[in-house]
Structure 1
Amino acid sequence: MTRIAVIDNHGQFTHLEQRALRDLGVDADLVDNDVDPDEVEADGFVLSGGPDMDRAGRSAEYLDRDEPVLGICLGMQLIAEELGGSVGAGEYGGYADVTVEITDDEDPLIGSLAPDTRVWASHADEVKTLPEGFSRTGTSDVCGIEAMSDTDRNLYGVQWHPEVIHTERGEEVFENFRDICEQSS
């Protein structure tokens, strides 16, 4: 059975990320972000959303592992910032229902959602520039980088919350990430 650890950055929907993975038959653990990453055994990691980058604990250390990583909202921003991209305030602000255009229909995480999908996302902060090695895989009229991937390192990020009911086809994002984890183990 595939095992994915959800690293808890204290977001309001983190428990739903664990639940979505369990509903897919994944052995999903919820792990506090202060736990030593060397103590966590998993085939992949989800860096959850959360209220503040300063409260992300040891989340960045999971990027040094060889297993795939999916960053959701704050988790995506953390990946970008840690690897040389930039994060800044979004022009739109808070939560909204957004149509995301999939810009790479070959992307293993979100390509299956092409040509577009409706999502629930917060744009208080967002990735402004991609880190080296990443490509933009999703965009919208309120955010230039709604999703990003570095398939060579199996690092992925989405600005939106696939775990909430307001996001269409959110389960498919988790299915695709599960498949990425299974193929890389």
Structure 2
Amino acid sequence: MTRIVVIDNHGQFTHLERRALRDLGVDTELVDNDTDPADIDADGIVLSGGPDMDRIGRCPDYLDLDVPVLGICLGMQILAEELDGRVGSGDYGGYADVDVEILDEDDPLIGSLAPETRVWASHADEVKEVPEGFTHTATSDVCTIEAMSDADRDLYGVQWHPEVAHTAEGEEVFENFIDICER
């Protein structure tokens, strides 16, 4: 059975990420972001959302575990920051329903959502520049970089929260990530 570990960055929806994966039949566990990487045995990792970059624990170390990674909101920002992209303040700080345009219909994580999807997202901080090797895969009127992917390294990020009911096709994002982890 596929095992995906959700790294808890103390976000308000993190428990819903674990539940969404469990409901899709995945062996999943929620672990604190200070967990020793040597103690993580998984086919994939979800870096959860959370309040700020000052509380990301050992998340940078988890990127070296050679398994697919899905960064959600703060998790996507961690990917960008650690891999020499750029993160900055968003123009719109609160949570909002957002129409997101999918830019790459071949993207393994979100391509199946093309041409667009409706999501629930926070934009207090956001990725301003994708790291080298990443493709900018989604955009909106609120945030230029709503998603990014490095399919060669199986590193993916979405600014929005696929785990909440307000996101139209959130379950499909998790299903696609499970498929990536099972390859």
TM-score, length basis structure 1: 0.98
Measured after TM superposition, the shift of residue 52 of structure 1 is 1.0
Measured after TM superposition, the shift of residue 138 of structure 1 is 0.4
The residue identity in structure 1 corresponding to 2:143 is C
Other-structure match for 2:126: 126
The residue identity in structure 1 corresponding to 2:25 is G
The DSSP-based 3-state class of the residue aligned with 2:133 is: coil
Measured after TM superposition, the shift of residue 83 of structure 1 is 0.2
* Distance across 2 between alignment mates of 1:104 and 1:20: 25
Other-structure match for 1:2: 2
Other-structure match for 2:152: 152
Which whole-Å deviations, capped at 9, do the CAs of 1:141-160 have from their partners, x for residues lacking one? 11010000000100000000
* Distance across 1 between alignment mates of 2:105 and 2:177: 15
Q: Is it true that 1:82 corresponds to 2:82 in the alignment?
A: yes
The residue identity in structure 2 corresponding to 1:78 is I
Alignment of 1:1-185 (within 5 A): 1-183=1-183
* Distance across 1 between alignment mates of 2:40 and 2:142: 36
- The percentage of aligned residue pairs carrying the same residue is 78
TM-score, length basis structure 2: 0.99
Name stretches of at least 5 consecutive residues in structure 1 with no aligned partner.
none
Measured after TM superposition, the shift of residue 140 of structure 1 is 0.3
User: What is the CA RMSD across the aligned residues, in angstroms?
Assistant: 0.4
Measured after TM superposition, the shift of residue 64 of structure 1 is 0.9
Corresponding residue pairs, total? 183
Measured after TM superposition, the shift of residue 38 of structure 1 is 1.3
The DSSP-based 3-state class of the residue aligned with 2:177 is: helix
